[in-house]
Copies of this chain bind each other. A is one copy, B any other.
Amino acid sequence: MSQTTFLRQEIDQFDKPYRTHLINSLTGFKSVALVGTQDAQGKTNLSPFSQIIHVGANPPLLGILFRPHTVPRHTLENIEATRAFTVNHIREEFVAQAHQTSARWDVSEFEACHLTPEYTAQVAAPYVREAHISIGLQWVERADIAANGTILIIGEMMEIRLPSHALHPDGFVDLEAAGTLTCSNLDAYHKTEKIARYSYAKPGEPLREL
């Protein structure tokens, strides 16, 4: 197998689109979800994010990394104004609409991309009705990354909505059964096929498949 190696000096010399694709690809397959917010006047916003990270289970925390605040970032502004946001997993049935929400629309992305806002009493932000797994969150912390000005927003899960058939008796969620997709780079969407779910690893004990 022919292998390519890039050293740091070469990476720095690539043109911007090439470097963006390359580096965004290299973190591997990513979570991808539509983040729903609204401003203080109730105008809704929807945007796809792949920089989503599990932060902790107790309390239940999730983080989203935002690019530097130099251009309008409605999602971040709305979260800072209302302290609320939703994370909605993307399914194949609306993947093209989900990708289209990344364009710079004047109207709400819900309207522009034909997705349906839905509200509950728990969170002051719109859910995406078309999503099967969605989480309502409340802002708890902001961490600024000095290295490049990105901003990590941590949210606390206030509400979880998921298909009953995807929930296993031990709390594991079968994301495939729920139709959740993964992405690579900023533009490729993939479905998955499970290879194995393994038991907790212990020295000298063979793994079991769960």
Contact = CB atoms under 8 A, between A and B. Distances in A.
A75 to B, nearest CB: 15
Contacts of A167: 4, 22
Interface stretch (A35-43, A55-63, A78-86): A55-63
A30 B192 CA distance: 12
A51 to B, nearest CB: 6
Interface residues of A, number: 115
Q: What secondary structure prevails in chain A residues at the interface with B?
A: mixed
A21 to B, nearest CB: 3
B24 A57 contact: yes
A190 interface: yes
B180 A188 contact: no
Nearest to A7: B159
A59 B147 contact: yes
B189 A196 contact: yes
A71 interface: no
Interface string A144-177: 1111101010101111111111011011110110
A20 interface: yes
Contacts of A192: 29, 182, 190-193
B170 A17 contact: yes
A81 to B, nearest CB: 20
Contacts of A100: 201, 207
A4 B157 contact: no
B187 A197 contact: yes
A102 B25 CA distance: 25
Which 7 pairs from chain A and chain B are nearest by CB?
A: A21-B171, A25-B173, A28-B31, A29-B182, A18-B171, A190-B192, A23-B57
